[in-house]
């Protein structure tokens, strides 16, 4: 009897496994055709683990009189690719989990409610369909993953409890929560996410939610207005926002003034439009804000008719400032079409105007240039990105290209071309391609497939590595980009000797170009070695007629990222202007002449001498002979520290604890036990009674006279 029951149980689980076949793919709908990888008619997994089809087979539901397609069911093969674009809240569940089964109606109701939620309630005939599609307006999606059918992907994301909810923003995991919550609490989280995507666009107090399992909700999604809340009027403005979006774009900044923006005005003029805005978030009591005010006012005057300039008082509009994640004052942000980017540059008038000029140009989109126009741009732009396309380039490619523009503001210019003369000049044979022209030299983005060219994050990561000139001047504005995580060859020069300055910069640039060429050649050799090794495995498997080994060999992916080595950059700094910093950091007196130091910011060290002990000078020979000895592991020349002895000691101790936590914990434990035993032995050796101390010692003696000696920096 037990044996028969065991067979029946086995057959039951076998049938479940067949019902959850790995061939299940991702459901898609016509309403989300902008999401890559989704095809109409694909399969869809229900919470019960059974394979269903999408709306083509009648699995849609109805909510508030609108047709709702099935929720996205992501699989091992689609999850990582799909969540790369937009914001995705994904439930990881098991069809056998009691809590998951109980939560399923709540998750489905939220899917139906938000899918049919109009971000801009308006007359359907006059509304922009793009804006009035919730998914398109916010680029936010709910989805789910069955961890029984897709155990590998759940393991990769460390799912240990059902249900678990992972929030992805443009492919990166942003937040994780576990456990089933009520519809109100889950909606509250979703509202927080939506407010971050489009600040000021959500109703005060949250939307009016349906009951779990209901197929409609009265009163749309807008609650009664609360005039006591500063952001409440913004809800009313949403009723007319569509008209604002459909009007012809007006001349920006007509009066040449920085416009004070309330929460209502912010939603009406910034969130609900495609107009570009450069906005300052401040408080009246902030001293830095007061210092910035005159430059901000003058910048607004000079940008009259070119760029909208605004300001938000965070004392009055606290909720709005929280939604846009203002963490300090003043904070300056550029807004365009619902996206935003923070300005981290200097606050001088010239710096603000330069950034505003680039922002205004970016609002016009990526400019199309001819070969002659590109050559003219090269004369004025130190760094110039070029997107090369042909007639077969698709709208998806151009959409990915436009998403790069905002991130480049303040760094470099991006243009595109279909001019055959530029095809020939840069030897382009596949389209589209991305390259950068820096100081007369060109470098190419290594992605060739459509998938790689549309991977905005990968393209942007490459751009960040090359968007500086070959040898930029080190300033307070670019110091983080130039130094962080890199080995920096820094020429300490001075404008007080202009002839020597140009000669030294030329030598450093020549050294940089030669170093880059050698590194690229070495990189290609290592890449070829990996390809040869792969081919060797394939040939060996074919000789043995081992199909399993052959498939494994062919599946080996040659990843260029696996060959990453520590980047080396080059720059120069005006030693006369930064004299004090150079003297306290590197111990160099700029009056002694031009020098070169090689700085390792990650390890807080630097080198200023060659292998023979002579100073490194701005000479191609001196730099190229020394640099290979410094980037080797370990370095052949001992590094000096950029900090005091005490700073270096504590930093070394901290780094050691981070790298070897268990070893250091053991050492600390041994030390504590040893000290405890020593104290115990001393106490035992004492005689009885109370011992009086005749004279009290200075409690600071131990710090100042014994142990470590501290010494402040001497100017």
pLDDT of the residue at 216:
84
Please name which of 515, 463, 506, 462 lies closest in space to residue 488, comparing C-alpha atoms: 515
Judged on CB neighbours under 10 Å (0-12, 13-18, 19+), 206 is middle
Tokens of 441: 């030299």
Sign of the torsion angle spanned by Cα atoms 369, 370, 373, 374: positive
pTM to 2 decimals? 0.57
Q: Is 57 helix (H, G, I), strand (E, B) or coil?
A: helix
The string of pLDDT tens digits covering residues 387-416 is 999 988 888 889 889 889 888 988 899 999
Mind listing the pLDDT tens digit for each residue in 648-703?
444 444 555 555 566 667 777 787 888 878 777 766 655 444 333 333 333 333 33
Give the SS3 label for residue 487: strand
SS3 (DSSP) at 265: helix
pLDDT number for residue 595: 92
pLDDT for the residue 439: 81
User: How many angstroms separate the first and last alpha carbons of the chain?
Assistant: 91
d(CA 662, CA 7): 49
Pairing mode of beta strands 367-368, 413-417? parallel
Return d(Cα 272, Cα 198) in angstroms, integer.
9
Neighbours of 310 (CB within 10 A): 22
Rounded CA separation 456/576 (Å): 41
- pLDDT < 70: residue spans in the chain: 1-58, 120-132, 218-249, 560-564, 643-664, 682-715
Pair 491, 571: CB distance under 8 Å: yes
The rounded distance, in Å, linking the Cα atoms of 620 and 614 is: 15
Contact (CB, 8 A) for 405 and 365? yes
Q: Token pair of 674, please? A: 């040893």
pLDDT of residue 132: 53
pLDDT value, residue 522: 86
Domains of the chain, first to last: 14-197 (3.40.30.10), 248-361 (3.40.30.10), 365-467 (3.40.30.10), 487-641 (no CATH), 645-678+701-715 (no CATH)
Q: What angle do CA 554, 559, 563 make, to 5 degrees?
A: 135
């Amino acid at each position: 009897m037990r044996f028969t029951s065991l067979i029946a149980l086995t057959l039951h689980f076998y049938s479940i496994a067949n019902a959850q076949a790995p061939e299940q793919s991702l459901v898609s709908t016509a309403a989300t055709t902008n999401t890559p990888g989704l095809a109409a008619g694909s399969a869809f997994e229900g919470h019960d683990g059974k394979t269903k089809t999408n709306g083509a087979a009648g699995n849609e539901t109805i909510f508030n009189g609108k047709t709702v397609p099935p929720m996205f069911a992501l699989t091992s093969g689609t999850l990582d690719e799909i969540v790369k674009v937009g914001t995705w809240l994904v439930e990881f569940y098991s069809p056998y989990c009691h809590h998951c089964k109980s939560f399923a109606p709540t998750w489905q109701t939220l899917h139906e409610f938000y899918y049919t939620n109009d971000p801009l309630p308006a007359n359907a005939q006059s509304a922009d369909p793009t804006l009035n599609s919730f998914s398109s307006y916010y680029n936010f999606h709910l989805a789910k993953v069955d961890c029984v059918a897709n155990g590998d992907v759940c393991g990769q994301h460390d799912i240990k409890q059902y249900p678990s909810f992972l929030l992805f923003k443009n492919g990166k995991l942003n937040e994780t929560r576990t456990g089933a919550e009520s519809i109100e609490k889950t909606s509250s989280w979703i509202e927080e996410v939506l407010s971050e995507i489009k600040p000021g666009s959500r109703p005060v107090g949250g939307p009016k939610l349906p009951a779990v399992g209901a197929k409609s909700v009265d009163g749309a999604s807008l609650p009664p207005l609360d005039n006591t809340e500063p952001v409440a009027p913004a809800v009313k403005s949403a009723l007319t926002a569509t008209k604002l979006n459909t009007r012809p774009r007006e001349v920006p900044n007509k009066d040449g003034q920085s416009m004070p923006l309330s929460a209502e005005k912010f939603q009406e003029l910034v969130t609900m439009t495609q107009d570009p805005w450069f906005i300052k978030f401040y408080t009246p009591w902030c001293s830095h804000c007061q210092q910035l005010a005159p430059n901000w006012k003058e910048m607004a005057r000079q940008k009259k008719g070119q760029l909208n300039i605004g300001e938000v008082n965070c004392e009055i509009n606290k909720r709005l400032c929280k939604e846009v994640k203002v963490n300090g004052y003043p904070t300056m942000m550029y807004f365009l079409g619902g996206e935003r980017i923070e300005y981290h540059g200097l606050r001088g008038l010239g710096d603000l105007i330069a950034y505003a000029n680039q922002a205004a140009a970016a609002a016009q989109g990526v400019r199309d240039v001819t070969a002659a126009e590109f050559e003219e741009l090269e004369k004025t732009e130190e760094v110039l990105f070029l997107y090369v396309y042909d007639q077969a380039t698709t709208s998806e490619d151009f959409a990915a290209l436009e998403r790069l523009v905002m991130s480049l503001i303040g760094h470099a210019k991006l243009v595109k071309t279909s001019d055959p003369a530029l095809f020939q000049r840069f030897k382009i044979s596949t389209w589209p391609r991305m390259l950068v022209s820096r100081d007369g030299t060109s470098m190419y983005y290594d992605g060739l497939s459509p998938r790689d060219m549309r991977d905005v994050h990968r393209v942007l990561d490459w751009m960040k590595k090359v968007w500086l000139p070959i040898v930029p001047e080190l300033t307070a504005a670019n110091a983080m980009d130039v130094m962080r995580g890199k080995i920096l060859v820094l020429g300490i020069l001075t404008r007080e000797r202009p002839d020597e300055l140009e000669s030294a910069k030329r030598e450093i640039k020549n050294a940089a170009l030669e170093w880059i060429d050698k590194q690229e050649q070495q990189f290609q050799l290592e890449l070829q070695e990996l390809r040869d090794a792969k081919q060797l495995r394939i040939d060996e498997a074919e000789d043995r007629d081992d199909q399993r080994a052959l498939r494994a060999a062919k599946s080996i992916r040659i990843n260029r990222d696996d060959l990453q080595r520590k980047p080396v950059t080059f720059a120069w700094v005006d030693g006369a202007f930064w004299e004090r910093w150079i003297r306290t950091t590197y111990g160099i007196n700029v009056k002694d002449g031009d020098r070169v130091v090689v700085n390792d910011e990650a390890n807080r060290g630097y080198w200023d001498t060659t292998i023979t002990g002579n100073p490194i000078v701005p000479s191609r020979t001196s730099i190229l002979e020394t640099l290979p000895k410094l980037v080797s592991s370990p370095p052949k020349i001992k590094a000096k520290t950029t900090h005091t002895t005490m700073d270096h000691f504590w930093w070394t101790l901290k780094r050691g604890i981070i790298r070897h936590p268990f070893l250091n914990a053991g050492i600390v434990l041994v030390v504590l036990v040893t000290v405890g035993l020593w104290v115990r032995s001393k106490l035992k050796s004492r005689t009885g009674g109370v011992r009086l101390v005749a004279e009290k010692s200075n409690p600071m003696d131990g710090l100042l006279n014994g142990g470590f000696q501290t010494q402040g920096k001497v100017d």
